[in-house]
Chain A
Amino acid sequence: MAFLGLRKWPTPIVKPLWPFMVAGSFTVYLFAKAQESGIRSAQWRNDARNPYAAELAKESLH
């Protein structure tokens, strides 16, 4: 396999970097939670740029 003409070397990726991959996944989960709480907050709920207007309409109907 080559990438732009360079040879591919058998460097280990998962074996040394798996803790960072676990931490990265946890960070993505935390950011998703932060986004969920942020778009439902009073400050951003009725913003014109909010692309989640559909969920706002559903939540108001209950």
Chain B
Amino acid sequence: MPQLIPFFFLNQIVITFVILFSVIYILSKYVLPSSLLTQVLRTYITKLSKKNV
């Protein structure tokens, strides 16, 4: 099994952590707050335009 060959352990672990960190960073800084704002705005627009909702 190639993952268990010891020459490439450091290679694997560095690539894993670089990918993990960059995905978490991009999602939390750019993507998720924008979609949260979209949902909040949709709720405000819906509730504030209908008085008895």
Contacts and interface: CB of A to CB of B under 8 A. Distances in A.
**Secondary structure of the A side of the interface?**
mixed
A5 to B, nearest CB: 10
A41 B4 CA distance: 14
Contacts of A3: 26, 29-30
Interface residues of B, number: 18
Given A49-B5, A50-B7, A52-B7, A8 B30 contact: yes
14 contacts: A3-B26, A9-B29, A9-B30, A9-B33, A11-B33, A13-B29, A31-B12, A31-B13, A35-B6, A35-B7, A35-B10, A39-B7, A41-B6, A50-B7
